[in-house]
Amino acid sequence: MAALIVAPRPRVLCRSVAGLFTRCSALRYSGARRGSAAFKSRAVKVGVPPAAKCYSESASGSATGPGLELLVHYLEASESAGIVVFGINRPQSKNAISKNLVEMMTAAIEEVKCDKNVRAVILRSEVPGIFCAGNLPMPTIAALDGTALGGGLEMALACDIRVAATSAKMGLVETKLAIIPGAGGTQRLPRIVGVSLAKELIFSGRLLDGTEAKVVRLVSHVVEQNEAGDAAYHRALSLAKEFIPQGPIAVRLAKLAINQGIEVDLKTGLAIEEACYAQVIPTKDRIEGLNAFKEKRLPRYTGE
């Protein structure tokens, strides 16, 4: 039987999107200034302060191995610039969520959430066959190439979009251990698949493969697994590339409007949408979008 991956109630998963966004609104977030146009891949080490980073020249050349529980890759290729990949790397414990991992994830989220250069975040596993995956103001995609159980699936549920390989296995299995999903599973799963089915899946602790998960809309896309075991990641990367050309402030505010609006009645939701729309009006990006349309060229958005 696959190992049960069950998380405690990490605070990072329980923050609201509004709370994360308020501290760096669309009109005020400045982003960390970088010395080079090409972002470098970063690997956060275990047992060192969150500010300590280990650098490599590119995402593909990033070091992996014992002691590197969370790898943060800033992709450098021109068509991928603006995409950040969080890679969970705890092979010794099948990517089970630990206090240390939660602290490093929190630090990584704090670093990217107010960076206007970051357009999308992909959450993946660096361990073949295992996924353990949170909310950020920019789009987040969970790439499920392996097993996502308990807290691992709950972390994936906190992402905006989930992509799975056909061979992936996922489920909220906490009732098998006489506990309940405690990191958002009882709240997020019903909102995604419906109340009745969510109850059935949680009560039974049933596992779904990627194809079954797509049928019940637990994941948005399912792909055949490849020999390298990273088919879902590549599909997630192609999705993220679709988001990059769009106005980053508009995308963030659209996410905010959806996330807050879905929790209230339609009248209140429309008021939230109006408030978010008002925030894009004075931006430089909106003017750039209009000018690009008039001049029949691609816009050059700066997140301002």
| The pLDDT of residue 5 is above 90 | no
Q: Which two tokens stand for residue 140?
A: 């987040």
66-69 — which CB contacts under 8 Å span 24+ positions? 66/92, 68/43, 68/44, 69/44, 69/98, 69/100, 69/101, 69/104
Q: Which two tokens stand for residue 91?
A: 């092979």
The span from the CA of 32 to the CA of 90, in Å, is 28
Digit-coded pLDDT (tens) for 80-121: 888 999 888 877 777 666 777 778 888 888 888 888 888 899
Digit-coded pLDDT (tens) for 195-243: 999 999 999 999 999 999 999 999 999 999 999 889 999 999 999 999 9
